[in-house]
Structure 1
Amino acid sequence: MRVGLTPDRLFLAGRRRGFHRTADRSEMMMVEAAKDPGDWQPAVEALPSAIALSELHRPEVTVVLSNHFVRYALLPANDALKRDDEWLALARHRLAAVHGAAAGNWAVRVSAAKGGGERIVSAADAALIDAVRTRVAECGAKLASAQPNLMTTFNALRKDIGEQSCWLVIKETGRLTLALIEKGTWRAVRSRRMDDGWRTPLREILERECAVLALDQPYTRSVLVLNGDFAVNGREALHVPDWTGEDEFEAGAPDAAMAHAAR
């Protein structure tokens, strides 16, 4: 099963084992959110109750972390770095330079790059990962993995994106995450707090980001918008407006939920 962990709610998608792995059920569970959206403790404390709703015996649980709880960075291609530990050291150095001493308390992952391109760094509080592991174990379940929402969403849509260039736009309650995908590889990642009126300035935001990146060709026409908080039951539940046409941004689209389909 998968659990999407956000500041004010948990999303669940359970699946039966077997040849045909169709969705068993999906649930949403509200929690009393902390004043700071980056405070993960209320959501984590609710994990045992959320897992119990699945009625699965000793399930394997994949937890998808809201972008509120994750920091991202990109590392440029570097032929001098050959080993994973070298990339991890560079990632930690980069995070410390931007975020200071707090980065020393983060769990950090560096994703492999396609064709030797830029690598994306994901970082979350190590205490968050430890707490998730503890709460999952408390109810007799096994933590299969903890994954950042950006990476889970990208993996679900990898075939759709292919070798095209576009902005991947992920809207969660109170947060907008932008990732520029250029010919199938990472080029830029931004994550910021946003109010419910985020759609109005979105075009302006993307144009500004393109200017900052000094792109030869601004990518504002091909935009993929995911509206809502996480996708339940995989690719088919993601709300994906037509992003191949004329610079349009869908407003008032239905919410999706956040626990992606089991692998």
Structure 2
Amino acid sequence: MSHLSPDRFCAVVGAEGVGLGRWHATQPQWLGSRAFTCDAAQPAWEAALQALSALLAEHAVRGAELRVLLSARYSRFCLVPWSDAIGNPRELDAYARACFENLYGQSLDDWRIVLSPEPAGAARIATALPQALLQGLQALSRHSQLKLRSVQPYLMAAFNRCSAKLAQGDFLFVLAEPRRSVLMLAAGGAWQQVLAQGCADSDQALQALIDRTCELYGEHMPPVYLHAPGRGDVPQLEAVQLCQPAGDSDPLCAMWRAVA
């Protein structure tokens, strides 16, 4: 009899905790979460990996598949304008790194950059992830005898799940994680801006952030879509359409359920 597990696991690596969900056959099951605290002398992802290792040891079975979703805390985002001078993937990667360096004022040599697929002539959204974190997840998967299938920023998973509901051409998509929000503005069918910043978890703070971003759009506010699975309550904001399931007391569980 085979001891390999048919289960598929999905880990959510949040800013202050990690969570784990499982699909057994077609049945989803939330297994729980584990909080962690960060030592100022170490990167935040090191404490997250330690917490995830302990959580996997409680639940995972040899041979199962693992998918990982990363909080915006571990990602950096940048708009990469179109350039006719780019002729191959290596030049595109170097160009994207230059855009990040110009935005953040430091080199991202130790980060992996992933660019959104866009048609010719359109700007791309670039996401940078620490190479050390990705290597740590690979090592943890091998140690836990799991098959690491994917590592993805939660922003991308949430946007892809909500994309069918978005207006064509012009919109503002807002991901509101606990204490951090990411906003992606599209106009004329192309990306115009991506912004990530700390934000209080109140309706007032989130509304102010949305209003400031929409001011860049012009006279007419585009449709605004909010994905805030980390909120236990339902945000009450003006002219905002929600892209999320019912609230959950555990933000990590809510994030998992939103894209499960």
TM-score (normalised: structure 1): 0.79
Unpaired runs of 5+ in structure 2? 1-8
Give the letter aligned to residue 90 of structure 2.
Answer: D
Whether the 8 Å CA contact 2:36–2:51 is kept in 1: the answer is: no
Measure the CA separation in 1 of the matches of 2:157 and 2:43. 19
| Count, aligned residues | 242
1:24 aligned to 28, 45, 54, which one? 28
| Helix, strand or coil at the partner of 2:109 | helix
Measure the CA separation in 2 of the matches of 1:91 and 1:74. 9
2:196 aligned to 173, 191, 195, which one? 191
**Residue 247 (1) aligns with residue 247 (2):** no
| Helix, strand or coil at the partner of 1:258 | helix
1:219 — aligned with what? 221
**Residue 71 (1) aligns with residue 94 (2):** no
| Helix, strand or coil at the partner of 2:165 | helix
1:118 aligned to 119, 123, 126, which one? 123
2:255 aligned to 242, 254, 258, which one? 258
Name the CA shift for 1:55/1:126 in 2 (closer, same or farther; >3 Å).
closer
- Equivalences for 1:44-63 in 2 at 5 Å? 44-63=49-68
1:174 — aligned with what? 179
Whether the 8 Å CA contact 1:74–1:118 is kept in 2: the answer is: yes
Measure the CA separation in 2 of the matches of 1:23 and 1:53. 19
Q: CA RMSD in A?
A: 3.0
1:86 aligned to 88, 91, 94, which one? 91
Shift of 1:135: 1.1
CA deviations on 1:105-155 (whole Å, 9 max, x unpaired) are 212112211464211110121111111111121100121121111111111
Measure the CA separation in 2 of the matches of 1:79 and 1:102. 24
| Helix, strand or coil at the partner of 1:178 | strand
| Helix, strand or coil at the partner of 2:209 | helix
Moved more, 146-155 or 8-17: 8-17
Name the CA shift for 1:160/1:183 in 2 (closer, same or farther; >3 Å).
farther
Measure the CA separation in 2 of the matches of 1:157 and 1:240. 17
2:22 aligned to 5, 14, 18, which one? 14
- Equivalences for 1:226-245 in 2 at 5 Å? 226-229=227-230
Measure the CA separation in 1 of the matches of 2:43 and 2:172. 24
| Helix, strand or coil at the partner of 2:132 | helix
- Equivalences for 1:135-174 in 2 at 5 Å? 135-161=140-166, 163-174=168-179
Shift of 1:201: 3.3
| Helix, strand or coil at the partner of 1:229 | coil
**Residue 210 (1) aligns with residue 214 (2):** yes
Shift of 1:35: 6.1
Overall identity of the aligned pairs, in % = 25
Measure the CA separation in 1 of the matches of 2:191 and 2:167. 12
Unpaired runs of 5+ in structure 1? 231-238
1:235 — aligned with what? none
Measure the CA separation in 2 of the matches of 1:131 and 1:115. 35
Shift of 1:34: 1.5
Measure the CA separation in 2 of the matches of 1:180 and 1:155. 15
Give the letter aligned to residue 239 of structure 2.
Answer: D
Name the CA shift for 1:168/1:242 in 2 (closer, same or farther; >3 Å).
farther
